[in-house]
Amino acid sequence: MFSSQLEVGCCSSVCHKNYVPVCGSNGDTYQNECYRRQASCKQQRLISRVSDGPCSTGECVPGSTQC
């Protein structure tokens, strides 16, 4: 069950604005790890970190239907 994987209070956490990009399993680049976790919580689905840095453009992200 997805809800058991969420951190308590993750949707209401305040993220710092430092740009340390991470690539999510949905193919989106997040400003930092906190924003990725927050998006996962708000969308109520697991978005894991695929890699540090922005997602590559024009390439498929493993496990994603977006290329």
Name the residue ranges covered by the structural domains of the chain: 18-55
Give the whole-angstrom CA distance, residue 42 versus residue 65.
20
Residue 61 — very low, low, confident or very high, per pLDDT cuts 50/70/90?
low
- Return the pLDDT at 45: 94
Global pTM reads: 0.70
- Return the pLDDT at 1: 37
16-57 per-position pLDDT tens digit = 999 999 999 999 999 999 999 999 999 999 999 999 999 987
Give the whole-angstrom CA distance, residue 8 versus residue 57.
33
- Quick one: fold of 18-55? Wheat Germ Agglutinin (Isolectin 2); domain 1 (3.30.60)
- Return the pLDDT at 4: 43
- Return the pLDDT at 13: 76
CA distances from 20 to 3, 55, 67 (A): 26, 12, 22
